Amino acid sequence: MSRVYNFSAGPSMLPVEVLERAQKEMLDCNGSGQSVMEMSHRSKEYQAIIDKTEATLREVLNIPDNYKVLFLQGGASTQFAMVPLNLGNKNKKADYVITGQWAKKAYAEGGRYLEATAIASSADKTFSYLPKVDKSMLTPDADFVHICYNNTIYGTHYNTMPDFGDAVVVADMSSCILSEEVDISKFGIIYAGAQKNMGPAGVTVVIIREDLIGDAMDITPTMLNYETHSENGSMFNTPPTYGIYIVGLVCEWIKEMGGIKIMHEKNVEKAKILYDFLDNSKMFKGTVVPEDRSLMNVPFVTDSEDLNAKFIAEAKAKGFINLKGHRSVGGMRASIYNAMPKEGVEKLVAFMTEFEANN
């Protein structure tokens, strides 16, 4: 069977070059005579892999020296608790911008440990835009402000970063990390589940400014304390070894193509093909205001639930899978992460054009 075009929001498709290299090294990685899956995380062979993964990630994202890179488990959802437990010990207050389901969950979880304030929300229009926010809206003594940089379900993205002044900004970048250049120094913490744009499910990458480590609340469990993982090089317990290895291969793939700048240019080109079609279609329409559109997740609808269902079924038969929108929104969603080739978007648009003509 030939490979399908997988538009899943996550776990999502990986670059073919990465999969082929992993396949080649499956039984014998780097002349060790063993698979990465079999390696002791305490071995010098595996230490070389995790060290190279971190070094390449630092290079690709241009991570400053005063930031730690942690490879954790528990998904981005565990960060909803880790962030307030570790950062909220000063004034026990935090601000949240509510731009979708994951931002809502982060806010609710934060409220269990500190005084959480929702300073803005776009729930009034089904999260189809990003509310305007700035430093004047922040709680004066809040320990941090939390944003979801790219909203996977609703297809919005901070194309212009809000001015939060000197506040500690925490960003969930699960669905856009490695897709564009980001000034890491503007953030206190960036966290991301790997399964959308970095690798397989199971790894969560945390990029944290060093001065934010070491002042966790007394109630913080050992495994939820950033200091635990920082002091042990992400090796306090057995890390998701194979997932980290794949993240390293993905970073090498981006580096070899010319880096994040080139990756971003490719993503802009792909997204333009799909958005241009949606803007000119009489049947399909995008659901996000143009200024806040994501390059990674593109939700769209027709004016009929029956037509939506017919489109999804026929698309799957043609090899375009996982186009059904999130259950909380309906319609369709094409997630066109780094690994989705331009050809996949072009063929999807050709199919959509044909479907529109026939219906």
240-296: per-residue pLDDT in tens? 999 999 999 999 999 999 999 999 999 999 999 999 999 999 999 999 999 999 999
Q: Provide DSSP, 68-95.
A: EEEEE-SHHHHHHHHHHHHHTTTTSEEE
What's the pLDDT tens digit per position in 92-127?
999 999 999 999 999 999 999 999 999 999 999 999
What's the pLDDT tens digit per position in 186-218?
999 999 999 999 999 999 999 999 999 999 999
Is pLDDT above 60 for 12? yes
pLDDT at 330: 84
Compute the distance between CA of residue 46 and CA of residue 29 in angstroms, rounded to an integer.
10
Q: Which residues contact 117 (CB under 8 A, 6 or more apart)?
A: 93, 94, 95, 96, 139, 142
**Is 196 one of the catalytic residues?**
yes
pLDDT at 2: 87
Q: Which residues of 172-195 are buried (b: 16+ CB within 10 A; e: fewer)?
A: bbbbbbbbbebebeebbbbbbbbb
> Which of 261, 262, 146, 240 minimizes the C-alpha distance to 193?
240
Q: Which residues contact 79 (CB under 8 A, 6 or more apart)?
A: 106, 172, 191, 204, 206
Q: Which residues of 297-317 are buried (b: 16+ CB within 10 A; e: fewer)?
A: bbbbbbeeeebbeebbeebee
Is pLDDT above 80 for 1? no
Domains, the chain, in order of start with CATH, read: 18-257 (3.40.640.10), 259-358 (3.90.1150.10)
Q: Which residues contact 240 (CB under 8 A, 6 or more apart)?
A: 71, 73, 202, 203
- DSSP code for 20: H
DSSP E strands, 235-331: 285-286, 297-301, 320-321
What's the pLDDT tens digit per position in 327-345?
778 899 999 999 999 999 9
From 196, 253, 270, 324, active-site residue? 196
pLDDT at 338: 98
Angle between helix axes 241-257 and 44-61 (nearest 10 degrees) is 40
**Structure confidence at residue 359 as a pLDDT band (50, 70, 90):** very high
For the chain, state the CA radius of gyration. 21
Q: Which residues contact 57 (CB under 8 A, 6 or more apart)?
A: 63, 69, 205, 247, 248, 251
State the alpha helices, DSSP H only, in 91-223: 101-110
What percentage of the chain has pLDDT greater than the value 70?
Answer: 100
> Which of 215, 207, 234, 212 minimizes the C-alpha distance to 223?
234
Q: How many CB atoms lie within 10 A of CB 261?
A: 9
From 102, 143, 292, 324, active-site residue? 102
Compute the distance between CA of residue 296 and CA of residue 6 in angstroms, rounded to an integer.
13
Is pLDDT above 60 for 164? yes
From 172, 270, 292, 324, active-site residue? 172
Q: 0.85 cut: is pTM over it?
A: yes
Residue located via tokens 């999260």:
127
Tell me what the mean pLDDT of segment 294-318 comes to.
96
**Is 102 one of the catalytic residues?**
yes
> Which of 201, 177, 204 minimizes the C-alpha distance to 295?
177
Tell me what the mean pLDDT of segment 293-317 comes to.
96
Residue type, 275: Y
Tell me how far CA of residue 181 lies from CA of 62, 264, 344, in angstroms.
Answer: 9, 7, 24
